[in-house]
A and B are shown apart, each in its own frame.
Chain A
C-alpha cells in the first residue's frame, strides 16, 4: 500500500562542502513525487541518504518508525527490503546477463522455484520492453536499455517504495513518454510510494502528484504539483518553466551584477498547468486528485488555459 518517508532536518556535507542542509519533507505514502534540481545539487546524494548508503551529518529519515540515519546495520538491511531502486546508470551486475540480473533479488530473498522465477522475470522484462534481450550482458546494451533493465530488477520484489534516479536521462523522447506512462501505470497497479529524481520538466509537469525543488544547498519548495506549477517564487518558476531569466545561472546561482542586469526583463507569464498523465486503463490512481482541486482549496487562480484536455506539452520543453 506504500509507505511514507519522513525526512526531518537532514544535512549532508562531504568534508567542508555542504551539499544540502535542513531538508525537511514528507514523501506521502502511495503518491508519485518528483525531486527536481540543477545538476550537482545533490539529488543522487539525497536518494542514497534515503536508503542508508550515505550517512547524513544530522537529521533523520523515518520509514515505518525506523530512523535510517541512526539504525543498526541489521535493521538497515531489513528496511531495504521495502525498497526498489533504479540507479542513474542502471547499476546492473556486469558479470551476469540481464535475466540473471533481474532474477538475482528473487534468488537471494525468496524460496521460489526456477520456473516461478522465470515467470516473474519474463513478466517484468515484458513490462519494460526488453523481451528477447535476456541473454545480453549489461556491457552489450545501450544506456537506455540498461536503465530499463534496472527498473525491471527494482520492481521484481514488489517494493513498497520505488526510488528512480533520472529514469529519463539518456532515453529518447518516445521512450521517455512510454516510461512516464509506465511509471503512472505502475503506481496505479502496485500503489507504492514513488520518488523520482529528474531534470526533465515535461516529466515533472505531467507525471507526479508532488514536486520538490532542491536548489542552492537547500530544499526550495515541496508540495502538491499545482502549488509549484502555479508558484510565483522566482526559483521555482524559472526551473519549472526552463527559463534563463531568474536566480539560477550557469554555475549554480547568478551573482548580483547579472541579477541587476536582468532586473527589467520581466519574467514571462506562467504557462498553463497541464493535465496529469492518466493510467492507460483510464481508472484513476488512488492518490490522484481532481485537476484544479488544490488551486480551488487554496484560493489560487491557475494560469489561464490550465487543465485543458488538449494541452499536454510544457512550452519550455519544446
Chain B
C-alpha cells in the first residue's frame, strides 16, 4: 500500500525525467545528418498556417486591453506622455511571449501531438524504426526547429499587431495624441526587451514542441489514447511555459536593469 502511494507520488518525477531524456535525444538528433530540410519547411509552413490568424486575432485585444488598463492608470498619475512606452513595454516584454506560448502550445502543439499520436497507434513509427530510420531525427527534430522558428516569427507578429492595436485604441478611443504615443516609445523600452522577447519565444517553441512530440510518440491504447495525448500535451506545455516565462522574466530583470524614464 505504502509503496503504491509512493509510486503514484513519484510518477510525475519519472515522467519529467523521461521528458528530459527525450529532450536530450532530440538534442543529439539535431546534429545527425542528413538534415530533413523538406520536412522542416513543410512543418514550418503547416505550423505557421494554423497559428498566424489566431495569433493576430489574439494580439489585437491584448494590445487594446493593455492600452485600456495602462491608459487609465497612467492618467491617474498624470503621466499620459508615457502611454506609448508602457504599451510597448507590456506588449513586447510580456504579451508577445505569452500570446505566442498560448498559440504555439494550443494550436501547433496539439496538431503535432495528434499527428504523431495517430502515427504511433497506426504503428507507423514502429514501421519506420524497423526500416532503420530514427523517428526522432526524421520527424521530431524538424518539428522542434519549425516550432522555434515560427514562435519567433509569431512573437514579432504579436508585438507589431499589439502595439498597433494599442495605438488605435489609445488614439481613437481614449483621445491620446499620436505624437505622444509614438514619441514615448523609447522612453522606457529598450533594445534588450526585444531580444528577451525573442529568446522567450525560442524557448517556448522548443518546450512546446518537445512536450507535444513526446506525448504524441508515447500515445497508447487506440484512438482514445491520441485524444488523451493531445489533451495532456496542451495542459503540460501551458503550465511549463507559464512557469518558464516567470523564471525568464525574473532572470531578465536581474541582468538588465529597467530604464528610468
Stretch at the interface among A75-83, A115-123, A124-132: A75-83
A189 → chain B closest CB, angstroms: 22
| Contact string against A for B residues 117-130, beta-carbon threshold 8 Å, 1 for contact and 0 otherwise | 01100111011111
Contact present for A108 and B133 (CB under 8 Å): yes
Contact present for B127 and A85 (CB under 8 Å): yes
Residues of B contacting A108 with CB < 8 Å? 131-133
Contact of A87 (CB < 8 Å), options: B118, B119, B123, B133: B123
Interface residues of A in 82-124 (CB under 8 A from B): 83, 85, 87-89, 91-94, 104-105, 108-109
Tell me the bound Cα distance from A88 to B119 in angstroms: 14
Number of A-B contacts (CB under 8 A): 46
B131 → chain A closest CB, angstroms: 5
Q: How large is the interface on B (under 10, 10 to 19, 20 to 34, 35 or more residues)?
A: 10 to 19
Residues of A contacting B123 with CB < 8 Å? 87-89, 91
Interface residues of B in 123-182 (CB under 8 A from A): 123-124, 126-134
Residues of A contacting B128 with CB < 8 Å? 93
Known: A105-B131, A108-B131, A108-B133. A94 touches B126 (CB 8 A): no
A219 → chain B closest CB, angstroms: 23
Contact of A109 (CB < 8 Å), options: B127, B132, B134: B132
Tell me the bound Cα distance from A89 to B130 in angstroms: 15
A220 → chain B closest CB, angstroms: 27
Contact present for B133 and A48 (CB under 8 Å): no
Residues of A contacting B132 with CB < 8 Å? 77-78, 80-81, 105, 108-109
Q: List 21 A-B contacts (CB under 8 A).
A: A53-B126, A53-B129, A77-B132, A80-B131, A83-B130, A85-B127, A87-B127, A91-B122, A91-B126, A92-B124, A92-B127, A93-B127, A94-B119, A94-B124, A104-B131, A105-B132, A108-B131, A108-B132, A108-B133, A109-B131, A150-B127
Task: Name A residues whose Cβ lies closer than 8 Å to a Cβ of B.
Answer: 48, 51, 53, 77-78, 80-81, 83, 85, 87-89, 91-94, 104-105, 108-109, 150
